[in-house]
Amino acid sequence: MARSALLSLLACALLCASVPAARAAGTILPPLDDAVSYGADLTASGTGRTWTGTESIVARNDGRSPTDRLWIRLWGNGPKGCSPRAVTATITSGGRRGRLIRDCTAMEVILPTPLAPGAATTITLALTITAPNLSDRFGAADDIDLFGNALPVLAQRDRKAWRLPSYSPYGESWVTTWARFALTLHHPAALKVAAAGSTTTTPDPNGATATTTSVVDARDTFWAIGAMEEVQRTTARGVKIRAWSPVEAGGDRDDAAAGAASAMEEIERHLPAYPYPEYDVIVARIQAGGGMEYPTVVITDGTDDVTRHETGHQWFYGLVGDDQYREPWVDEGLTSFLEVYWTSSNSQQTPACYPSRRFTVKDPATFITSSMTYWNRHVGQYGLAYDNPACALREARSKLGDAKFTAVMRGLVTRYERRIMTGADVRRAFGKRLSSLWPKWGLAPGR
């Protein structure tokens, strides 16, 4: 989610009031890698708001003991809960439904026989997905229907337990590992579909409808539909940038394409290259957060800051995974550093830096490592999880020098590419010499 939308909330909320103690994330165990692939074949209603069809989920037991159940997350039910359900999923083969909890966002699947370690199984679902009437990543904006976190995905677990966090309207609850996502989307030919990964649209023989396919190996997928126009650009290294917007917003579309291309080129001067051939940028002014990242595709409100921020997430979130719910500072902080210091800004929105000695909380040295459980209830302070890590990294750069600092950041991407990186991993990579940096900025190890 974008940084700029949170900045105006920050200063007073932090310094004018004493706040209760936050709970930090504690030790984050690496998630098991159960997800193999997701395949969906969906048909749009006339407006594109509702999609019906099937999904096939292939899961492999990555644990050390048999499992008799899986959990599937229906994140699309997060904003509105159980009535009406934005996403209904009926299991048609591979198991039977158990509990439906967390406001209808977590569905238990009881397997017919326990799944042995290393063995795979397929669950098929009948789906109905309706974008809610919200100006949000799963919702609609500027007459574009947006399907972020709409497709059901496997829940995460580690070697100890299933992780079933609640939906977060301000951050992201969906911690996912890499899998192959393949979408086949049937829709009216008059409406354009933008989607994650490599996307191809083919007119159907009847002329009235078309089929868009989207394939990506990533942590999630996304699609959008509407009366959009597209503009394309190619980065110096050859990545195809596709920017989409309502027909009349051609200026915003051009700006978004240019901003995304230059941000990508600039970040690639410091970090390993973006590994996909295509990057889609959708200009839709969602009120929630200003922008939103998905792997290989983002939503931006068209402002330069948001486009650069969401492009930064292609590295920290997309390429290097993190636990956005339990450690949002890793997700948003490293991305904010990229946004502010490794891309060229048209504005001067530098981070607001608050050393932990200024916090009126119980554990100031760990405060910024709070999980979304805390920030959801203290949204006015959430900008700190974006800005303070950027301040810490800026100080790390000045202490280490540009070359060493960049080497550490590159090393993080190389080492944790396609894995989940934790805050402890980040601190460790910067070494003992900088150990005083983390408590200074409220980023000391959590409880």
Binding residues for Zn ion, rule: CB under 5 A, are 1, 332
Structure tokens, 100: 């439906």
Residue with tokens 């089929």: 211
Yes or no: say if 326 and 28 are a contact pair by the CB < 8 Å rule: yes
Contacts of 431 (CB under 8 A, 6+ apart): none
Burial of 400 (0-12, 13-18, 19+ CB in 10 A): middle
Roughly what angle, to the nearest 10 degrees, separates helices 250-268 and 304-312?
40
Between strands 144-148 and 138-141, the pairing is antiparallel
Tell whether the torsion through CA atoms of 132, 135, 140 and 143 is positive or negative. positive
Structure tokens, 377: 């209830």
Yes or no: say if 29 and 160 are a contact pair by the CB < 8 Å rule: yes
